[in-house]
Structures are given as C-alpha cells and as structure tokens.
Amino acid sequence: MTRKTRIRAALVTATAVVTAATVTVGVGAAGPERSPKPAKKQIASLFDTWNAALRTGDPDEVAALYAENAVLLPTVSNEVRTDRAGIVDYFEHFLANKPVGEKVRTIVNVLDDDSAIDTGVYAFTLTDPDTGEKRVVEARYTYEYEKRDGTWKIVNHHSSAMPEQ
C-alpha cells in the first residue's frame, strides 16, 4: 500500500467516525420520541364526550371524565366540588334536568403535549322534572384538561350563567 493510499484510507476512516459520532449525538440529543401536541379540534371534541356522558343520566359516568383531584365550579350550584363524591353529587342533581349542551363559542389553547384549556360559551336546554317545561341557560365555561395515564381528564371546570345584559 502506498503512502498516498494509506493517507486516503485514514481520511475516509476518520470521516466515517466523525459522521457516525455526529449522527449518534444528534439522535441522543433529540431524546425519546414524543407524541405531537394535540390538535385544537381534538381538545374541542372532549366536550362532545362530556355532553354524551350527560345524556346517559349516570352521574358516575360523567364524574369518571374528571381527575380524582379535579375542581368543579358548577353552573347551578354555589358549592365548589373538589373530590369525586362532590362531583357525583352535583351531577345527580343536575342530570335530573336532562341537560343537553351546545357550544356557542369555543377558544382552545393547547399548552403542551399533556395539557390544554377550552373556554367559551355554551347553552344548555334543561327540562324541569316536575313540569316538563324547557328553558335554555347560556353560560361561560372553562375546561382545563390534562392527559393522565394516556387519557384526557378534566382537572378544572368552571361554568357560570351569563350575566343579564
């Protein structure tokens, strides 16, 4: 092997080592593969899941959408609910009105891969269990969601009737 061939072989080997090291460092710096941020549409659709749970009439099914340590500031109660039992209690009473919700306006902010806020205005058609009379209540809402063990949970839910204008 000539001196020129040895030098060329050494340069090729050195280039290969540097390239491999660069690729390895780049892969290591990227870290573990992460799921992409959720789309705003995906977060907005979590309301549909919640609204469908209301239609079941089962307060436990609705409460299951909330994290164990969730806070609920409900529309038609002055009591702040801070545990599963309190949330179930609220929905036992609220579901007696056969609520059907519809979003009027929604604004979604995706904070990161595992948290988002959906805020806006919704309208609920409520049916009086004694008279069958229907009324519509328009309210402001905020849902704060966190992904826990791969499932979106409500961690904070505030709803208040719109002030009279």
Q: Indicate which CATH number applies to the domain containing 89.
A: 3.10.450.50
* Residues facing 147 on adjacent strands: 152
Q: Is there a contact between 143 and 119 (Cβ–Cβ < 8 Å)? A: yes
In whole angstroms, what is the distance from residue 88 CA to residue 108 CA? Answer: 26
Q: In the predicted model, what is the mean pLDDT of residues 3-18?
A: 47
- Within the chain, strands assigned E span 66-73, 100-112, 115-127, 134-148, 151-161
- Tokens 């992409």 identify what position? 36
64 with 83, same domain: the answer is: yes
7 with 47, same domain: the answer is: no
Q: Is there a contact between 49 and 62 (Cβ–Cβ < 8 Å)? A: no
133 with 75, same domain: the answer is: yes
70 with 120, same domain: the answer is: yes
Mean pLDDT of the chain: 85
Torsion angle, alpha carbons of 60, 162, 110, 47, to 10: 30
Structure-token pair, residue 4? 């020129």
Sign of CA dihedral 69, 66, 140, 161: negative
23 with 53, same domain: the answer is: no
Structure-token pair, residue 96? 């007696």
Q: Is the pLDDT of residue 10 over 60?
A: no
pTM beyond 0.85: no
Please report which confidence band the pLDDT of residue 3 belongs to, taking 50, 70 and 90 as the band edges.
low
